[in-house]
């Protein structure tokens, strides 16, 4: 009978620990001495039944506590996984896509902003100027095709694109890379004169050489003015971005 009494008292105390707050626990501990007296008058069968009930309750409480602990741990953020909301907002163009997206306007301008900066900087061309050329050429329409057959963001002629190693003329990254590379060639050909380089990009370097300057073509002169207007806008915008940083 003494062994059952000890086990019984243990489970009663265990239940008190899980079920009662600190204040009630202290009160019940004062009455623990009466538990042994109570068990002395109980028969063996009654004690076993009480112990079984207490065991089930204690196991239930333990399982509940374990479950809460596991759920709480599951909600803690994994330090190895970055939360997208905490990441700085980057332009998606910093990642190369597999196929040319069918986008235009501000969406395309946003998508390829970083790539334009990287490519223009690589060829030592002002990124704001490249952005202005793209706006004047295609309005950031990745699928743009002119009446003369120029294609893509920077309106490359197929033969020019081929000579520059552009395999997919409608792929925005390849088109931008080829266009920047071609414009850099025009800048070098005309000794750094941006206006002549723009004229050559629009009307062909042969016409610039033949006229020994900007050709008297209305479309070419409008084109140059348009590029410089956009250039000033992009220059100011990028200057503001740098100031904010």
Instruction: Tell me which residues are annotated as active site.
Output: 137
Q: Which of 130, 127, 151 is nearest to 141 (CA)?
A: 151
- The candidate with the shortest Cα–Cα distance to 145, out of 189, 114, 175, 167, is 175
Residues 140, 100: Cα–Cα separation, whole Å: 13
* Triad 18, 30, 16: Cα angle to 5°: 10
Query: What's the sign of the alpha-carbon dihedral 233, 234, 235, 239?
Result: positive
Q: Name the one residue in this structure whose structure tokens are 């265990």.
A: 14
Q: Which token pair is 158? A: 């197929």
């Amino acid at each position: 009978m003494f062994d059952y009494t000890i086990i019984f008292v243990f489970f009663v105390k265990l239940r008190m620990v899980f079920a009662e707050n600190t204040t009630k626990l202290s009160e019940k501990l004062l009455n623990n001495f009466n538990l042994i007296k109570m068990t002395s008058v109980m028969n063996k069968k009654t004690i076993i039944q009480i112990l079984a009930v207490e065991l089930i309750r204690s196991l239930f409480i333990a399982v509940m506590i374990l479950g809460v602990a596991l759920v709480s741990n599951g909600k803690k953020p994994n330090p190895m996984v970055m939360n997208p909301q905490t990441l700085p907002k980057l332009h998606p163009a910093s990642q190369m896509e597999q196929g040319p997206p069918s986008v235009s306007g501000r969406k395309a301008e946003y998508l390829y902003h970083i790539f334009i900066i990287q490519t223009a900087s690589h060829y030592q061309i002002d990124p704001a100027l490249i952005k202005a050329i793209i706006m004047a050429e295609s309005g950031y329409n990745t699928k743009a095709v002119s009446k003369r057959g120029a294609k893509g963001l920077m309106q490359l002629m197929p033969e020019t694109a081929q000579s520059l190693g552009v395999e997919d003329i409608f792929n925005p990254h390849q088109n931008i890379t080829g266009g920047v590379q071609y414009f850099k060639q025009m800048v070098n050909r005309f000794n750094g004169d941006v206006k002549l380089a723009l004229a050559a990009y629009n009307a062909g370097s042969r016409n610039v050489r033949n006229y020994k300057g900007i050709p008297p073509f209305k479309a070419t002169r409008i084109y140059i003015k348009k590029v410089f207007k956009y250039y000033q806008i992009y220059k100011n915008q990028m200057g503001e971005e740098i100031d904010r940083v």
